[in-house]
Amino acid sequence: DAKTTQPPSMDCAEGRAANLPCNHSTISGNEYVYWYRQIHSQGPQYIIHGLKNNETNEMASLIITEDRKSSTLILPHATLRDTAVYYCIVRVAGANNLFFGTGTRLTVIP
């Protein structure tokens, strides 16, 4: 599986959009981009995933660049409950394993 690179930490003001970047320059054509988050003392939680097109669900939006070498997770109106570690992962559909990195610690500030 290709590796990802994320900034170790970010701050965001409450109510503003949080934009979390992820680099995956070695991604291959059949690898999806997944985002998870982990709130303190809980197991990670799935947020969203995509292949080429931008995706949106009730939690977030995922913007993938045309060359697929990077992506951005957008939380449109960050709340204090969005404070968590966010993980970006790439994975081949149907692959049995999933490798996490160190993620980005997002702190939403009142």
Residues lying near another protein in the complex (CB under 8 A) are found at 32, 34, 36, 41-46, 49, 87, 91, 93-94, 96-103
The least distance separating another protein from the CB of residue 15, rounded to whole angstroms, comes to 28
State the Cα–Cα distance between residues 55 and 36, nearest whole angstrom: 14
The least distance separating another protein from the CB of residue 95, rounded to whole angstroms, comes to 9
The least distance separating another protein from the CB of residue 93, rounded to whole angstroms, comes to 5
Burial of 104 (0-12, 13-18, 19+ CB in 10 A): buried
State the Cα–Cα distance between residues 110 and 103, nearest whole angstrom: 22
Based on CB atoms, which residue is closest to another protein, 34 or 82? 34
Handedness of CA 45, 78, 107, 12 (dihedral sign): positive
Based on CB atoms, which residue is closest to another protein, 49 or 69? 49
Based on CB atoms, which residue is closest to another protein, 93 or 110? 93
The least distance separating another protein from the CB of residue 100, rounded to whole angstroms, comes to 4
Q: Which of 87, 85, 83 is nearest to 108 (CA)?
A: 83
